Amino acid sequence: MAPVGIIGVGSYVPPRKMSNEDWAQIVDTSDEWITTKTGMKNRRIADSNVCTSDLAVKACKVALENSGLEASDIDLLILATSSPDVPMSSTAGIVQEKLGCTDCGAFDINAVCAGWVHALDVGSRFAGTKGYRNVLVVGSEVYSRILNWEDRSTCVLFGDGAGAVVLSEVPREKGIIGSWLMSDGSGSNVIEIPAGGVRVPIPSEEFKEGMQYFHMDGRAVWNFAIEAFPQAVLGVLERFGRTLDEVDLIIPHQANINIIEAGMQNLGLPMDKTYTNLHKYGNTAGASIPIAMHEAFEEGFLKEGDLVVTVAFGGGLAWGANLIQF
Ligand X SMILES: CC(C)(COP(=O)(O)OP(=O)(O)OC[C@H]1O[C@@H](n2cnc3c(N)ncnc32)[C@H](O)[C@@H]1OP(=O)(O)O)[C@@H](O)C(=O)NCCC(=O)NCCS
User: By the criterion CB under 6 A, which residues form the site for ligand X?
Assistant: 29, 33, 37-38, 113, 152-153, 156, 216, 218-219, 221-222, 225, 255-256, 259, 283, 314
CB of 203 to ligand X, least distance (A): 29
Instruction: Give the active site residue among 60, 101, 253, 256.
Output: 253
Contact 326, 275 (CB under 8 A): no
**Cβ closer to ligand X: 17 or 61?**
17
* Sheet-wide strand order for 76-80: 4-12, 160-169, 135-142, 76-80, 105-109
**296: phi > 0 → left, psi -120 to 50 → alpha, else beta; which?**
alpha
Smallest distance from ligand X to CB 62, Å: 25
Q: Which of 104, 283, 294, 322 is catalytic?
A: 283
Residue 281: other Cβ atoms inside 10 A: 25
Nearer to ligand X, 214 or 297 (CB): 214
Distance of alpha carbon 277 from alpha carbon 284, whole angstroms: 11
Q: Which alpha helices (H) appear in 192-302, and where do they start and end?
A: 218-239, 257-267, 278-281, 288-298
Nearest-10 Cα torsion for 188, 191, 194, 198: -40
Give catalytic status of residue 113 as yes or no. Answer: yes
Residues whose CB is less than 8 angstroms from the CB of residue 259 and which lie 6 or more positions away in sequence, other chains included: 222, 225, 226, 229
Q: How far apart are the first and last CA of the chain?
A: 18
Residues 113, 155, 277, 294: which is the catalytic one? 113
Active site annotation includes 283: yes
Between 43 and 133, name the residue whose CB sits nearer to ligand X.
43
Least Å distance between CB 113 and ligand X? 3
Q: Shortest approach of ligand X to residue 128 CB, angstroms? A: 31
Give the residue with the Cβ less far from ligand X, 116 or 180: 116
Contact 45, 144 (CB under 8 A): yes
Q: Which is nearer to ligand X, 225 or 236 (CB)?
A: 225
Q: What gap in Å lies between CA 197 and CA 296, rounded to an integer? A: 37
Q: What is the DSSP letter of 244?
A: G
118 is catalytic: no
What is the smallest separation between the CB atom of 107 and ligand X, expressed in angstroms?
22
Closest to ligand X by CB, 153 or 204: 153
**Residue 57: alpha-carbon gap to chain centroid:** 15
- Please report how close the Cβ of residue 151 comes to ligand X at its closest, in angstroms: 8
For the CA atoms of 49, 52, 55, 61, the dihedral, rounded to the nearest 10 degrees, stands at -130
- 83 upstream amide cis, omega within 30 of 0: no
**Active-site residue set:** 113, 253, 283
